[in-house]
Amino acid sequence: LDFSFISMTLLGIAIFINSENFNNRKYSITFGIVFGLGMLTRINYFLILGPTILFMILLYSLKLKWSLNQTKNLIFSALFAFFIFFQWFFRHSVGVLNYLHNQATLDWSVIEEGNPVWNSFDGIAYYIKGSYIVFSKFYFILFLLSMLIILIYLYKNKNKLIEEKNIITLGLLFFFIFSWIVFTYLGNKDLRFISSIYPVMGIIIAIGFYTLNLDDKIRFTLIISIIIFGLFSLNGATNQYLRDPLNEDWKIEKILFLISQDSENDNLSVATVGIDSDLEYFNQVNFQMYAYSNDIKNLKINFERSDYYDYLIIRNGFSDNSYRILDEFKLPDRSIAKIYKKIEK
């Protein structure tokens, strides 16, 4: 889903640019179709893409006066997006609104994936630190350098800000900054939520280096060198769930040893364990990795909550008469991981 969402976000930006600010009817209608499909891909598509498109429309409008033809194309685009998305939204409106309310809340009591709160240093640095890790140190440094190069270029050419290439550059910068601010402010945090900014960071790197006044051969050699060198330091967003939790102790090994020992005491050859959490450092894959690295072979670990399992690992707990609490652990994100054991009948 994350890769589909990333693709739809970038496709939406590309189609909008080709629509020439809704002057081209074919691309305007195509943008409406893409926007509708993007909303079906993930409901927060409008939050990721919408403000950036509005910002770029404003910049284009400073260059050329808005015309009747653009208004017609915008209406056609909106109708296509509405037609594609509305049928599904109408049937699932209650669930969608509840989901958006829970994801956008700042109330700690209902946060399920929340790490640091937004008004703390850890909260402000959460996605910066995450981008530094996922995007790789090498490319993150290149991104910061490219941002500096672009800002210097835009400052020196501030009388040309509404030129086509500069509007696209400003739009991408706005996309990155707006996404970071909004998702930092929201209560629930996970690096998956901002996955669409990573390719945009790559595009910004490319723009930064093309902004430099270099010979074509030198520029080409530099880009190839960056790609080759970067491959040796690239972590990749696809591997983020397999990383060790840096300096934080998420109690995974302690939980695994506790359950493993308890199941051995009950003479269970293999105990089934359900995990109801998809936090970056506290999910099924993390537990499976630690079980493998610690040679724990008597646990079968799955991602879901069900009364089928011998043990359940649930953050912040739940109520079920068929289970009793075995132990609980305080996690770095301030939540409580509670270990439940099925009661034998």
User: What is the DSSP track for 35-76?
Assistant: HHHHHHH-TTHHHHHHHHHHHHHHHHHHHS---HHHHHHHHH
The number of angstroms, rounded, from the C-alpha of 332 to the middle of its chain's C-alpha atoms is 20
Lowest model confidence (mean pLDDT) among 122-131, 258-267, 319-328: 122-131
Look at residue 174 in the predicted model and tell me its pLDDT. Answer: 92
Kindly report which listed range (92-96, 240-244, 245-249, 277-281) carries the lowest average pLDDT score. Answer: 240-244
State percent of the chain over pLDDT 90: 20
Q: What SS3 class is residue 325? A: strand
More confidently predicted of 107 and 261:
261
Nearest Cα residue to 59 out of 151, 160, 181: 160
Average pLDDT value for residue range 215-237:
72
Q: In what order do the strands lie in the sheet with 323-330?
A: 299-302, 271-276, 311-315, 336-342, 323-330
**Can you give the pLDDT at residue 80?**
92
What type of residue sits at position 148? L
Question: Is-above-0.85 flag for pTM?
Answer: no
Helices (H), the chain: 2-18, 25-41, 45-63, 68-91, 93-104, 121-134, 137-156, 164-185, 197-211, 216-231, 252-265, 284-293
- Looking at 146-160, 162-176, 187-201, 264-278, which range is the least confident one? 187-201
- For the ranges 73-82, 105-114, 137-146, the lowest mean pLDDT is seen at 105-114
Q: What average pLDDT does range 227-249 have in this prediction?
A: 57
Angle, CA 18 vertex, CA 12 and CA 20 arms, to 5°:
115
pLDDT on residue 343: 87
Average pLDDT, integer, range 118-139: 74
Q: Report pLDDT for 181.
A: 85
The alpha carbon of residue 319 and the mean position of all alpha carbons in its chain are separated, in whole angstroms, by 31
Q: Ranked by mean pLDDT, which of 133-137, 164-168, 327-331 comes out on top?
A: 327-331
User: In which band, very low, low, confident or very high, does the pLDDT at 302 lie, cut at 50, 70 and 90?
Assistant: confident
Closest to 316 measured CA to CA, from 279, 290, 271, 288: 279
> pLDDT grade, residue 152 (50/70/90)?
very high
Q: What was the pLDDT predicted at 237?
A: 41
What confidence category does residue 32 fall into, taking pLDDT thresholds of 50, 70 and 90?
very high
Residue 243: pLDDT above 50?
Answer: no
Q: What confidence score (pLDDT) does residue 317 get?
A: 67
Highest mean pLDDT among 115-119, 155-159, 336-340: 336-340
pLDDT for 184? 80
pLDDT of residue 101: 59
Identify the band that residue 339 occupies on the pLDDT scale cut at 50, 70 and 90: very high
Question: For the segment 37-82, what is each residue's pLDDT rounded down to a tens digit?
Answer: 988 887 778 888 889 999 988 888 888 788 889 899 999 999 999 8
